[in-house]
Amino acid sequence: MRSPVAASPAFSRGSELLDHVDYRLVQSPADKEEIYNLRYRAYLREGAVKESREQRVTDQYDDLPNSWTFGVYLDGELASSVRISVLTQQWRESCSAEAFGEILHPRLDRDEIIIDPARFVADPDRARRAPELPYVTVRLAYMACEYFSADLGLAIVRPEHQAFYRRVFFHETIAEPRLFPGLIKPVGLMAADFPTMRDKVFSRYPMMRSSAFERRMLFEREHHAPQQATVDRFARPSIVPST
């Protein structure tokens, strides 16, 4: 018998929605500003930030060399966004590393690679019309885990949403809720052991699979900088500053 989660209409439609989705690495000032505005609208709708004249949400992690900010475009229009940070022994800066450093830094000291998705937002109007949009967006985190051969995949989750992440994505709570920089509602830290859960997730949700070409197009960066932070364990890809 298929599980209720595996048979959910949102997952079924998510595979179909991929035909209409374009994942774009956000690089131009105009595209970045559109993402920052989307974050503000999404957070304001759920009461996570206070009103501001700037109507934008950004932070010091957006332009770090170990961060990739993506826009998810549905039929050519921005529908959602997520920022993927890759944490290694060399690169330790991200939202979660700041808020939950006492938990994450010892793992980085052990040479683990951690994928930290943050600023996960969806256009409030589009999210109502396309309930599968969150699954299509979180697929980027799975692609990052696959591309960088991650040991751990994180999720920053409010208490009321943790049961969903536990049931659907097999995450476990590794830190109780606390106030997160820039937000006014506490969030907890959840995590999944990617090597252990990889096949289980991909078997249950085939739409989370991706090709090596797709992952390379999204995450590969040219090696221009001489001070490359290479990750040589298991011949993992280099993480290098963007130019």
Where would I find the H helices in the chain? 9-17, 29-45, 95-99, 101-109, 124-129, 133-147, 162-169, 194-204, 212-219
Domain boundaries, the chain: 9-210
- The tokens for 172 are 């476990």
- Written as one string, the DSSP assignment of 38-55 is HHHHHHHHTTSS---SS-
pLDDT tens figures, 160-216:
889 988 988 899 999 999 887 677 888 899 999 999 999 999 998 899 999 999 999
pLDDT score, position 15: 66
Paired with 146 in beta bridges are none
> pTM of the prediction?
0.85
Is the pLDDT confidence value at 58 over 50? Answer: yes
Least confidently predicted of 65-74, 154-163, 175-184, 220-229: 220-229
Question: Once rounded to an integer, what is the mean pLDDT over residues 48-68?
Answer: 93
Superfamily of domain 9-210, CATH level 4:
Gcn5-related N-acetyltransferase (GNAT) (3.40.630.30)
pLDDT value, residue 222 = 65
pLDDT recorded at residue 239: 53
| Residue 234 token pair | 């298991």
- Determine the pLDDT at residue 169: 86
